[in-house]
Structure 1
Amino acid sequence: MTTAPERATSTAPPPDTDIAGVADTGASGTTRLRRAALRDRTPLQRALDAVVGDESVVSAWWRQAVRWLRVRVCPVLEPITGFGWAVLVGTAVALVAGIGLGWKELIVIGIAGALLLVGGIGFIVGRNRYRIELDLAYTRVVVGERALGRIEIHAASTKPLLPATIEVPVGKALASFHLPRMQPGDVHEDVFAIPTSRRTILQVGPVRSVRGDPVGLLRRQVKWTDPVELFVHPKTVQLDETAPGLIRDLEGITTRDLTSSDIAFHALRDYVAGDDRRYIHWKSSARTGQLMVRQFEQTRRSVLALGLSTSPDDYADPQEFETAISILGSLGLQAVRDEMDVVVQTSRRTLPATTGKRLLDALSGVEWSPRHDRFLDLAATIARQHAGASVVMLHAGANVDPMLVRRARTLLPTQARVIVFTVVRGASPKLRPIGDVALATIGSVSDLPRVMRGVALQ
C-alpha cells in the first residue's frame, strides 16, 4: 500500500493574531510577556521611554556621569573628614550670608574657615613612599596566649619623608603608631600586642599611613599591605591515645549485611562453587558429610559525628558555649590523631575536620545561630546528613534537660552509640545513663579526660 505524500500547506494567521507572537513561540515566557507589554504601551509612554527609559540617551548619560564622579571626583573629596565637611559648609554659608547681608563678622568667619581648609591641604599634598612589612609571630594561637605583631617600615623615597601616623586595624580595634621624620634608607620598627581573650578570627591590617592637618579637617590614608588573619583557637585538653569511648570497637561496627569474608562470625552455610576455600569449616564438613563455609556479618569503619548546638536558648550563659566548643575541639583532635572518620555538625553547617588545624580554624569562627535552631533540630540534621555514624556526641548547655535528650535519641540513627555533653558552669563532672544514652554533665574542659574514662566503663 502506497502512502500519499504529505502536502506542504501555508496558513495565514487570523486577522486578530499578532504575527510577532506566532514567530516568538520558541521564546521564553518572560520575553513574550515583555514584548506584549511593550506593544500595549501608548505612544506617549513610548516617547517617555526613549527619553528616560533604561535604554535611553538620558539614562546612558546619567550612568556615565555617575561613573565619572566615582572615578574622578570621589578620590578628590575622600580626604575631607566629617568635621571638614561641617567647616566647609559653614564657611560657604558664612561667606554668602555675610556678603548678602553686609555682616563683616560673617565674612571674617568665612575667610578664616577658607584659610583653615587651604592650609590643611599643605599637610596632605605630596606622596610618601614606604615599603612596609606586616608580620605576625604566630597566625594561630590559643585563647589567652600572647600574640605579637610587628611592622617594619622602610623609607623608599630619595627625599626626606614628613612625619605620619601608621594605623593597623586589629579586628574592630585600631593600633596607632607615630612615624617620625625619615631620611632615605631609614628603617623604623614597631611591635604591638594583639588581644586574645576570646575565641575568634581576627583580621590584622591592612597597614595604612595617615597624614592630616592638626585641626582634623583633612585626612589622607594610603594602604600598604594586605590583611592577615589570626586564628584564636579554643582551649583544648589532651586525651588518652585511642581514647576509650570514642568508638565502639577499633574494627568498626557490625551490620546485618552478610558477607563471605570479614571479622564478625555469623553462621555456617553450604559450600557454593566460587567460595573461598580458606573459609571452609573442616570439622563441620566432616561431621555433616558436605562442605560447610563460614559466613560473616559485614563490618564498616566507625564514623564519629560531633554535634554542637549554637542556639543561645540551649545555654545559660556564653561561657557554657565556649566550654562546649572546647570539649568538642578536644574530642575532634583526638579522633583525628587516631585517624578516625570524623564529621562535625553545628546547628547551621558542617565544619571541615580532615585535619586538626582545619577543625580548630573552623571552630574559631563559630558564632551564635538564630534562636529557632534548637537541640532537637541539631539531632535531626545529624540523622539526615550523617546517617551512617556509629558514635554521636552532642554538645549543649545547661538548658538541655533529660527529656530533650530522650527526644533527641529517637531522632538519631538506631545503630549509633549516643553520648550527650551538657555544660553546666561550675558543676562537678557526672555521668548517668538516660536509656541507652550516656548523659555527661561537665563544668570545665579540664574534667573531660575523667568523664571519658567513665564513658569507657559503660
Structure 2
Amino acid sequence: MLTRTGTAMACTAVALVALGTWADYPELVTLGLAAAATLLVATLWLVAAPRLTVVREVRPHRVFEGTAARAALTVTNAGRRRSPPLQVTETAGGRRTAVPVPALAAGDSCTVGYALPLTTRGRYLIPPVLLGHSDPLRLMHRGRARGAELVVHVYPRVHPLATVEVGGPQDAEGPTNNSAPLGGAAFHSLREYAPGDDRRHIHWGATARTGTVMTRHVVVPDEPRQLVVLDTSTTPYPGPHFEDAVRVAASFCVAAENARLPFLLRTTGAVERESTGPALEFLSTVQKSHTDQGLAVLSERVRDVIAGAQGVALTVVTGHVDAQAAQLLMMLRPRFLSISLAELSAADNGIRPHGVLTVIATSSDQFAIHWNRLVLR
C-alpha cells in the first residue's frame, strides 16, 4: 500500500513523464522513469518480507473500570537477514494504538508492552495485531495480521459495601442443599467414599448393605441467601444513572462474596447469575431494554424464592421509584428477612417504602458513602 510519500512520488512520476513527452524534454521523462523505478524497488523490498513470529499476551483478561489491561507483544526474527523497524497496530475498543518495534537481527527477539485503551465496561473482542513494515524511503507500507483474537471483559467498578446482618439459619441444624460448602456438621446425604474423605464419617451400616464404602456427606447449613435484583428497564433511568446502578449491583454481589454469603443476581429482564465471576461477567455487558417491564414484574421474578424454605434478604437496585413500585415492595416485605432499596436518581421524590431500608443517591460513589454510614452506625 502506498504511503502519503509514495502517493506523491507516483503522481510526480506520472506528471514528469507526461510533461516531458508533451514538451519533448527527455530529461523530465528520465526523472519520471527514475521515480517509477524507485517505487518498483520499494515494491520488491516489501515482497521480500522478513520471517517473523509474533506472540501476544493480554493480562488480565478481566479488569475493572479504571484498571488498565496491558498487552505484551514478543516479536522474533526467524529469518536469515536483519528485519527492518516495524510498527504494530493494535485495535481495541474502536481505538488504534501504534507500537514501534526496533530492527531485529537474525534470531533476535523483542518484547514490547503497552496499555489497551479500554475505559468503559463491556466485552471487547480484540482482533489480531497488524504487523507492518516499510521500505527505507517510506514509500510503501505492508501490514499483515498476526496472532489470534482475544476477549477482554471490563467489569463495572466496585465499591466496598457493608452487609446487612439478617440473622442465621432458620433452625438450629439449618437446611442443606447439594451446593452447600463441605466441612460443616449438618448431615445432607450418603455417598460413595472418595480419597481424602474423613474416615470417621464412614457409614458402616450402609457399607455392609451395599458392599461399597459409603460416607456421610456433611455440609455447612444453608445461610440466608442474598438476592440482588437489578432493574434493567429504561423508564427509571432518564439520565446516565444506569451505569451507577450496574456498579451498585456489582458491589452488592462482591460484598456478599466477601462475607461468604450465598447470593443470586437477577434482573427484571429474567436473567440470573450465581457466584461473583459469572455475575460480574454478565454485568459487564448488561444493557437497558425498552421491552423490560421493570419492577412491575418483581413479584414474578421472586416467586420461586418466596416459595422456598430458606430465608432470603432482597436487595433491589433501580432508578426512580414511583408509588406503585413502593407499594409492591411493602407488600413483599413480610416474605423476606429484609428488603433493601438502592435508588440511583437525580432527585429525591420523597417516596420511601415502609419497612424497606432505602438509600437514594445520585451516583454509585455517593451511594456507597450513604449506605455504609447507614448500615455501620
Superposed pair shares fold, TM > 0.5: yes
- Residue pairs, 1:314-333, within 5 angstroms: 314-318=236-240, 320-333=241-254
Q: Distance in 1 between matches of 2:230 and 2:135?
A: 52
Check 1:380–1:203 CA distance in 2 against 1; reply closer, same or farther (3 A cut).
same
Amino acid at match of 1:442: A
Shift of 1:384: 3.4
1:369 aligns with 2:285: no
- Cα pair 1:208 1:222 within 8 Å, conserved: yes
The corresponding residue for 2:280 is: 360
1:40 — aligned with what?
Answer: none
User: How far has the Cα of 1:381 moved from its partner?
Assistant: 4.7
Aligned to 1:31: none
Provide the residue aligned with 2:343 in structure 1: 422
Give SS of 2:84's match: coil
Give the aligned partner of residue 159 of structure 2: 237
Structure 1 unaligned spans of 5+: 1-78, 254-260, 264-299
Give how far 1:329 is off: 0.9
Task: Kindly indicate whether residue 106 of structure 2 is the aligned counterpart of residue 184 of structure 1.
Answer: yes
Please say which structure displays the higher CA radius of gyration.
1
Alignment of structure 1 residues 70-149 onto 2, 5 Å: 118-149=40-71
Corresponding residue for residue 440 of structure 1:
359
Looking at structure 2, the residues matched to 302 and 200 of structure 1 have their Cα atoms a distance apart, in angstroms, of 31
Q: Hey, what does 1:76 align to over in structure 2?
A: none
* Percent identity (aligned): 19
Query: 1:171 corresponds to which residue?
Result: 93
**Could you say if the C-alpha distance between residues 155 and 438 of structure 1 is closer, same or farther in structure 2, counting changes exceeding 3 Å?**
same
Which residue number in structure 1 is paired with residue 180 of structure 2?
Answer: none
How far apart, CA to CA, are the structure 2 residues paired with 1:165 and 1:140? 27
Q: Does the CA contact (< 8 Å) of 2:330 and 2:353 recur in 1? A: no
Greater share of helix: 1
Return the alpha-carbon distance in structure 2 between the equivalents of residues 431 and 359 of structure 1: 31
Secondary structure, aligned partner of 2:161: coil
Q: What CA distance in whole angstroms lies between the structure 1 residues aligned with 2:304 and 2:93? A: 40
**Contiguous gaps of at least 5 residues in structure 2:** 176-221, 307-312
- The whole-number CA distance in structure 1 between the counterparts of 2:316 and 2:24 is 77
The structural deviation recorded for 1:83 is 12
- C-alpha contact (below 8 Å) 1:432/1:440 kept by paired residues: no
1:79-117 CA-partner distances (Å, limit 9, x unpaired): 6899999x99x99x99xxx8xxx9999xx7997997676
Asked if the contact 2:95–2:117 (Cα under 8 Å) also holds between the matched residues in 1, the reply is: no
Question: Are residues 148 and 434 of structure 1, via their aligned partners in 2, closer, same or farther at CA, if it must alter by over 3 Å?
Answer: same
The answer as to whether partners of 2:326 and 2:352 remain within 8 angstroms in 1 is no
Contact map agreement 1:121 1:218 (CA 8 A) in 2: yes
Partner of 1:334 in structure 2? 255
How far 1:441 sits from its partner (Å)?
A: 0.8
RMSD: 4.7
Q: Does 1:406 align with 2:329?
A: no
Q: Which residue of 2 aligns with 1:387?
A: 303
Q: Equivalent residue for 1:251?
A: 169
Report the TM-score, using the length of structure 1 for normalisation. 0.54
Task: Determine if contact 2:64/2:155 at 8 Å carries over to the other structure.
Answer: yes
More divergent stretch after superposition (320-329 vs 120-129):
120-129
Closer/same/farther in 2, CA of residues 185 and 84 from structure 1, 3 Å limit: closer
Counterpart in 2 of 1:272?
none
Greater relative contact order (Cα < 8 A, sep 6+): 2
* Cα distance, 1:170–1:123 mapped onto 2, change above 3 Å: farther
Q: Would the alpha carbon gap of residues 441 and 385 (structure 1) be closer, same or farther in structure 2, given more than 3 Å must change?
A: closer
Alpha-carbon separation, structure 2, partners of 1:414 and 1:81: 72
Residue 59 of structure 2 contacts residue 70 of structure 2 at CA under 8 Å; is this kept in 1? Answer: yes
Note the C-alpha offset of 1:342: 0.9
1:363 is displaced (CA, Å) by 1.5
Q: TM-score, normalised by structure 2?
A: 0.64
The answer as to 2:110 corresponding to 1:194 is no
In the TM superposition, residue 119 of structure 1 has moved relative to its aligned partner by 4.7
**Aligned-residue offset at 1:199:** 2.4
Amino acid at match of 2:368: L
> Partners of 1:215 and 1:413 in 2: how far apart?
75
Whether the aligned pair in 2 keeps the contact of 1:202 and 1:229 (CA below 8 Å) is yes
Aligned length: 317
The residue type paired with residue 127 of structure 1 is A
